[in-house]
Amino acid sequence: MLVMETIKVLMTMRFSDEQIARVRAVSPRLVVVQKSVKEGADFNDTSTLFEGDEEIFYGMIPPRDLSRAPRLRWVQLHSAGINHLHDHPIWQSDVRVTTASGIHAVPIGEFAIALMLALARKIPLMTRLQARADWPRGKWNLFLGTELRGKTLGVVGYGSIGREVARIAKHGFAMRVLALTRGGDPRDRGYHEPGVGDPDGALPDAWFTRAQLFDLLTQSDFVLIATPLTDETRGMIGERELRAMKPTAFLVNIARGGIVDERALVRALKEHWIAGAALDVFEREPLPADNELWTLDNVIIAPHIAAATPHYDDRAVELFCENLRRYLRGDALLNVVDIPRGY
């Protein structure tokens, strides 16, 4: 009788029993152990949770002491970004690392559209007046906004999130879509849910390279920052780029704060180089109380919560199960981190 060798999987996120059962159901070969980190401690080192026979790890932080995980072969991250692991010894090992890229497309895509609508229709001003029970005079002129329909959306970073925003913008608001990508392949090679985004790259009206960033900015009514934070993209939206935008344009950043020069952005908002901005990410988080962004009336500040819906973990488990099936078959995994590229 053939005895199948078991594979131990250590999971450190706080998944439900039903979600863990879905992982176990992938194969009888899997021995799935959940050792949840304490609430609020998702970024702790997980070295002490390893017993030495784990082959697969799911969580936010792989063990820093890799000697405690001699059989570790694959790490599936609970996040799309890897910036929190910039100095982690995992990069000097032969352990494969995959991300959760693709599961954020729907929640963050919808959130980005909500921010665009809020900026266009001056919703923040409405909420400030509501807090004061103030029904303003001259309300028509005060709230004279713009429409998304027919406007141009420039997507800086045409990954899964940017593609879903493009899909909603194109089909929901008849917007013109401009897409900027690092490479020349229009297809989405990572994980994507059925019916979500633009996996074939069929939606953009025009494509741009990094060298053509200014061309995209000058044409866009809304600029969505959706690119990973890497050495190449850090500070890519600075004073020159903000001055290149239309004075009627809006900037939306749901990627990483370090991509936008905050000092330049504050000046752009105060001096009205651009009409406004909506930000879910910042150079320092939490955003310091003395940061000028808090005081401006043409900016929306969200506390890095664009992905916060009840469906995050279900989507994460679905991606993990698909990658587990691929791992067991010996197929290529989805969302493998390319270390030189930084994502």
Q: Check which CATH number belongs to the domain holding 295 and give it.
A: 3.40.50.720
Report the chain's mean pLDDT, rounded to a whole number: 95
What is the C-alpha end-to-end distance of the chain, expressed in Å? Answer: 44
Same domain, 114 and 78: no
Beta-bridged to residue 207, according to DSSP, are 179
Task: State the pLDDT at residue 186.
Answer: 93
In a domain, 230, yes or no: yes
Same domain, 181 and 287: yes
Task: State the pLDDT at residue 105.
Answer: 98
Percent of the chain at pLDDT exceeding 90? 92
In a domain, 334, yes or no: no
Q: Give the pLDDT confidence of 53-84 residue by residue, as tens digits.
A: 999 999 999 999 999 999 999 999 999 999 99
CA–CA distance, 77 with 98 (Å, rounded to integer): 6
Q: How far is CA 44 from CA 33, 84, 205, 259, in A?
A: 18, 11, 44, 26
- pLDDT confidence bin for 161, thresholds 50/70/90: very high
Tell me the average pLDDT across 112-122: 98
Same domain, 146 and 97: no
Same domain, 281 and 235: yes
Given a cut of 70, whether residue 245 has pLDDT beyond it is: yes
- How many residues are present in the chain? 343
In a domain, 247, yes or no: yes
Give the catalytic positions in this structure: 256, 285, 304
In a domain, 337, yes or no: no
For residue 136, how many other CB atoms are within 10 A of its CB? 12
- pLDDT confidence bin for 3, thresholds 50/70/90: low
Q: How far is CA 33 from CA 45, 317, 342, in A?
A: 17, 14, 30
Q: How far is CA 65 from CA 43, 50, 106, 173, 179, in A?
A: 15, 10, 36, 51, 41
Task: State the pLDDT at residue 42.
Answer: 56
146, exposed or middle or buried, with CB in 10 Å at 0-12, 13-18, 19+? middle
Q: Please choose, from the candidates 115, 209, 126, 208, the residue with its C-alpha nearest in 3D space to the C-alpha of residue 168.
A: 115
In a domain, 321, yes or no: yes
For residue 40, how many other CB atoms are within 10 A of its CB? 7
3-class state of residue 285 by DSSP: coil
Beta-bridged to residue 57, according to DSSP, are 10, 75
Same domain, 224 and 297: yes
Q: Give the pLDDT confidence of 300-326 residue by residue, as tens digits.
A: 999 999 999 999 999 999 999 999 999
Give the chain's largest Cα–Cα span.
84
Same domain, 240 and 195: yes
Same domain, 174 and 285: yes
In a domain, 252, yes or no: yes
Task: State the pLDDT at residue 41.
Answer: 57
CA–CA distance, 204 with 283 (Å, rounded to integer): 30
In a domain, 338, yes or no: no
| H/E stretch holding 109 | helix 105-120
Of 33-37, 92-96, 206-210, the range with the lowest mean pLDDT is 33-37
pTM of the model: 0.95
Given a cut of 80, whether residue 4 has pLDDT beyond it is: no
CA–CA distance, 65 with 263 (Å, rounded to integer): 38
Given a cut of 70, whether residue 188 has pLDDT beyond it is: yes
Same domain, 82 and 114: no
Q: How far is CA 113 from CA 105, 119, 300, 305, in A?
A: 12, 10, 13, 14
Same domain, 254 and 274: yes
Count structural domains, the chain: 2
Q: Report DSSP letters for 140-170, one per residue.
A: HHHT----STT-EEEEES-SHHHHHHHHHHH
Same domain, 76 and 203: no
**Would you call the peptide bond into 286 cis, given omega within 30 degrees of 0 as the criterion?**
yes
Q: How far is CA 285 from CA 52, 74, 103, 256, 303, in A?
A: 35, 30, 23, 11, 8
Structural domain that includes position 128: 105-301
330: which residues sit within 8 A by CB, 6+ positions away? Answer: none
For tokens 């089909």, name the residue: 171
- pLDDT confidence bin for 119, thresholds 50/70/90: very high
Q: What sign does the CA torsion over 258, 263, 266, 269 have?
A: negative
In a domain, 264, yes or no: yes
Same domain, 117 and 152: yes
Same domain, 197 and 275: yes
